Amino acid sequence: MDILAAGDPGLLQWIADVLPHTDYLLPNDEQVLGLTGAADVLTGARCLLAAGAGCVAVTQGSKGAVVVSDAESVEVPAFAIDVVDTTGCGDAFSAGFILGRALGRDLREAARLGCATAAHVASGIGTDAGAYDFDVIEAFASGDHSATA
């Protein structure tokens, strides 16, 4: 589940009933801190797990992502790119992350695919800048930076 609202403790109460039915909660860092009142993202993500979410994958802009489940917590750095426009990067991360999980990737590799997808979106103006496909994103995520963002 993606959240298209500012992080507000009142929103957490509003979505509380659906969290136990949510496999993946995909907020950004500001939303996590606002929803939970936590002092840091990791603590906030753990609060959302305790509220019932199955896994929380938090985007952190230029810091990358933090993914927390009952079994593990992983941090994945953002790719070093020349950022042009961050519009749509959160959605791009979500798409790459969910695809990674659907392909059977572990949390770290799914988050890496999400960060690579977001990097490609950030490298151009607007949410559909550039022409690339899964093979380009996967190569970039694997370290082939000739498939540049």
Active site residue 91: yes
Calculate ∠ Cα 11-15-20, nearest 5°: 145
Query: What pairs with residue 67 in β-bridges?
Result: 57, 74
Give the pLDDT score at 79: 94
Higher pLDDT, 123 or 69: 69
**3-class state of residue 25 by DSSP:** strand
* pLDDT interval class at 7 (50, 70, 90): low
Query: Which residue in 72, 59, 52, 73 sits closest to 7, CA to CA?
Result: 59
Pairing outcome for strands 73-76 and 55-59? unpaired
Top pLDDT among 145 and 108 is at 108
8 Å CB contact between 91 and 51: no
Both tokens of 8, joined, read 């507000």
Catalytic residue among 2, 29, 91, 128: 91
Please name the residue that has the structure tokens 């392909």.
103
Confidence of residue 147 (pLDDT cuts 50, 70, 90): low
**C-alpha 145: how far from chain center:** 21
Closest by CA position to 94, among listed 43, 23, 40: 23
**Dihedral pair phi/psi, residue 79, rounded to 5°:** -80, 140
Q: How confident is the model at residue 128 (pLDDT cuts 50, 70, 90)?
A: low
| pTM: predicted TM-score of the whole model, two decimal places | 0.89
Q: What is the mean pLDDT of residues 130-136?
A: 78
For the record, the structure tokens of 29 come out as: 């860092």
Q: Which phi-psi region, left, alpha or beta, contains residue 61 (left: φ > 0; alpha: ψ -120 to 50)?
A: left
Would you kindly state where each structural domain of the chain is located, as residue ranges? 1-77, 78-149
